[in-house]
C-alpha cells in the first residue's frame, strides 16, 4: 500500500482525461489561465482534482530555467545566529513561493566544496552564503551563473551584496554603555578570527573604541583551551578600574560564562559582561546578561529580498545592508562607581 512505485500522474493524464491538449493544461496551471474558455478550464480543473495532479517542478524548471529553489550555505547550523537568520530567509522564501535548500558545512572547507557542487547541480536560482568562502574559484564561477548574497561575513574578492550587522556602530554602543556604567578594564573575548570579516571588524572597532576613551584599558583574547587561564589572569590583575567582559558572539558568551562559572566567579558581582548577540537564556544567568541583539529575522528577510531583486534583473552596483544592534540592559552591566 505504501509502496513507492505507483506512477505519478502527469500532465498527459490530465490532458487525456479532460480531452484537451497538454498545452491547455500547461496554460491552466501557469499564468495564462485567462486565455482558456470557461468550459475547458472547468474540465481541466475537474481532471486535476480527481487525478490529484501536481505539476512537476523539476520538469518545469528544466524547461523554464526557474526552479524556485534558493540555496543557503551555512558554516555552523548549530549557531543560534545562523538559525535565526535562516528562519528569516525561510519566511521570505515561502512568501514568494521559493523553497530553501540548506547546506551546513560544519566549518569544513571540503564540505563547502561538495555542497556548492550539489547546489549548482540542482539549478538553484540564488545563493545565500554564510561561510568563509574558502573555495573562491567555485564561488566566483557560480556567481557568473546566479546572484549571491553574503550574510554576516564578507568574502574577499567576491563582489557580491552583503547583509549583516553594522559592527562598528554596535561595538561603539557596547563601549559607550560599558564606559557610562563605570567599567574601565575590558577584556574582549572572540572566537578565532580566522579570516571572518565580522569578527575582525568587531575586534578592530573594540581596539579603536578603547583608544579614544580616556582611562580605559582593553585586551583581546580568543576562545579555546587557554580561555580559562586568560580569564583567571584578567580577574587577578587589578588596579585598572572596574572589570568587564565583552563577548563577540553567542559562542564566545557561552564559553566565557561557563569558564567564569567554573572559576567560581559570582555572576555578575565580580565582573561585568556585555554580549554581542541575544540568546534566550541570557536573563537566567546570574543577574542577567546585557546584550546587543541583532535583528536576525530582518537580516534573513533582507538577504532573500536582495536576491529577489537581482533575480528580477536589478543590475545596480553591489550593495551593503548594515543593520543596527539593539541594546538590552540587564544585571551584568549594573553601574559601578
Partner DNA sequence: CTGTTAGCGCGTTCAT
Partner DNA sequence: ATGAACGCGCTAACAG
Residues binding DNA (CB under 7 A)? 7-8, 10-12, 19-27, 29-30, 35-37, 39-41, 54-56, 59-60, 62-64
Q: 33, 46, 54, 96: which one contacts a second copy (CB under 8 A)?
A: 54
Q: With H, G, I as helix, E, B as strand and everything else as coil, classify residue 4.
A: coil
Q: What angle do CA 206, 268, 323 make, to 5 degrees?
A: 40
C-beta closer to DNA: residue 55 or 182? 55
Residue 147's binding partner among a second copy, DNA, none (Cβ under 5 to 8 angstroms by kind) is a second copy
Which of 51, 114, 208, 327 forms a contact with a second copy (CB under 8 A)? Answer: 114
Instruction: Give how far the C-alpha of residue 264 lies from the chain's centroid of Cα atoms, to the nearest Å.
Output: 35
- Of positions 24, 131, 160, 181, contacts a second copy by CB under 8 A: 160
Q: Which of 33, 64, 96, 258: binder of a second copy (CB under 8 A)?
A: 258
DSSP readout, 209-238? HHHTSTT-EEEEEESSTTHHHHHHHHHH--
Q: Going by C-beta distance under 8 Å and a sequence separation of 6 or more, which residues neighbour residue 323?
A: 163, 164, 165, 166, 294, 295, 298, 299, 302
For position 263 contacting a second copy by CB under 8 A, the verdict is no
In whole angstroms, the minimum distance from the beta carbon of 168 to a second copy comes to: 27
Q: 57-75 burial, b for 16+ CB within 10 Å, e for fewer?
A: eeebbeeeeebebbbbbbb
Q: Return the HEC string of 313-330.
A: CCCCCCCEEEECCEEECC
Q: Which is nearer to DNA, 54 or 336 (CB)?
A: 54
- Going by C-alpha positions, the residue among 211, 123, 182, 196 that lies closest to residue 333 is 182
Whether the upstream peptide bond of residue 329 has omega within 30° of 0, thus cis, is no
E-only strand ranges, the chain: 69-74, 99-104, 126-130, 148-151, 161-165, 183-190, 217-222, 242-247, 272-276, 290-293, 320-323, 326-328
CA distance 223 to 237: 19
For position 58 contacting a second copy by CB under 8 A, the verdict is yes
Q: 52 contacts which partner out of a second copy, DNA, none, CB within 5 to 8 A by kind?
A: a second copy
102 binds, among a second copy, DNA, none (CB under 5 to 8 A by kind): a second copy
User: Would you state the cell numbers that stand for residue 224, as one nine-digit string?
Assistant: 579555546
Q: Is 62 in the site for a second copy (CB under 8 A)?
A: yes
- Closest CB to DNA among 8 and 212? 8
The span of 33-41, 222-230, 270-278, 307-315 binding a second copy (CB under 8 A) equals 307-315
Instruction: Decide which of DNA, a second copy, none touches 35; Cβ closer than 5 to 8 Å per partner kind.
Output: DNA
Number of residues that bind a second copy (CB under 8 A): 64
237 binds, options a second copy, DNA, none, Cβ within 5 to 8 A by partner type? none
- Contact of residue 132 among a second copy, DNA, none (CB under 5-8 Å per partner type): none
Choose which of 24, 104, 198, 290 interacts with a second copy (CB under 8 A): 104
- Name the binder of 327 from DNA, a second copy, none, CB < 5-8 A by kind: none
Query: Within a 13 Å sphere around the CA of 294, how many CA atoms are in the beta-carbon half?
Result: 29
User: How long a stretch of residues is the chain?
Assistant: 337
What are the residues binding a second copy (CB under 8 A)? 1-4, 6, 8, 52, 54-59, 61-62, 67, 69, 77-78, 83-84, 86-87, 90-91, 94, 99-104, 106, 111, 114-115, 117-123, 141, 143-147, 159-160, 254, 257-258, 261, 279-281, 283-285, 310-311, 315
Amino acid at each position: 500500500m505504501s509502496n513507492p512505485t505507483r506512477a505519478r500522474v502527469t500532465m498527459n493524464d490530465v490532458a487525456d482525461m479532460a480531452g484537451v491538449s497538454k498545452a491547455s493544461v500547461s496554460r491552466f496551471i501557469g499564468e495564462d489561465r485567462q486565455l482558456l474558455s470557461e468550459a475547458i478550464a472547468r474540465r481541466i480543473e475537474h481532471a486535476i482534482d480527481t487525478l490529484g495532479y501536481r505539476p512537476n517542478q523539476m520538469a518545469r524548471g528544466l524547461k523554464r530555467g526557474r526552479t524556485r529553489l534558493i540555496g543557503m550555505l551555512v558554516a555552523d547550523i548549530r549557531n543560534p545566529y545562523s538559525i535565526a537568520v535562516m528562519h528569516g530567509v525561510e519566511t521570505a522564501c515561502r512568501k514568494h513561493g521559493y523553497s530553501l535548500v540548506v547546506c551546513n558545512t560544519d566549518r569544513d572547507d571540503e564540505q563547502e566544496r561538495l555542497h556548492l557542487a550539489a547546489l549548482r547541480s540542482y539549478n538553484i536560482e540564488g545563493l545565500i552564503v554564510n561561510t568563509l568562502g574558502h573555495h573562491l574559484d567555485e564561488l566566483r564561477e557560480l556567481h557568473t551563473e546566479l546572484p549571491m548574497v553574503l550574510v554576516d561575513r564578507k568574502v574577499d574578492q567576491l563582489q557580491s551584496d552583503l547583509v549583516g550587522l553594522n559592527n562598528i556602530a554596535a561595538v561603539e554602543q557596547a563601549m559607550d554603555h560599558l564606559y557610562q556604567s563605570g567599567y574601565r578594564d575590558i577584556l574582549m573575548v572572540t572566537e578565532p578570527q580566522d579570516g571572518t570579516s565580522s569578527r575582525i571588524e568587531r575586534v578592530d572597532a573594540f581596539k579603536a573604541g578603547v583608544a579614544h576613551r580616556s582611562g580605559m584599558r582593553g585586551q583581546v583574547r580568543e576562545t579555546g583551551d587557554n580561555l580559562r587561564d586568560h580569564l583567571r589572569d584578567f580577574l587577578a590583575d587589578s588596579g585598572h578600574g572596574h572589570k568587564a567582559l565583552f563577548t563577540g558572539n553567542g559562542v564566545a558568551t557561552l564559553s566565557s560564562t561557563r569558564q567564569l562559572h567554573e572559576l567560581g566567579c559570582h555572576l555578575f558581582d565580580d565582573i561585568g559582561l556585555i554580549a554581542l548577540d541575544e540568546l534566550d537564556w541570557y536573563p537566567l544567568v546570574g543577574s542577567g546578561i546585557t546584550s546587543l541583539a541583532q535583528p536576525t529575522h530582518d537580516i534573513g528577510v533582507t538577504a532573500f529580498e536582495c536576491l529577489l531583486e537581482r533575480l528580477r534583473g536589478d543590475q545596480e552596483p553591489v550593495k551593503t545592508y548594515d543593520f543596527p544592534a539593539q541594546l538590552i540592559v540587564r544585571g551584568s552591566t549594573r553601574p559601578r562607581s
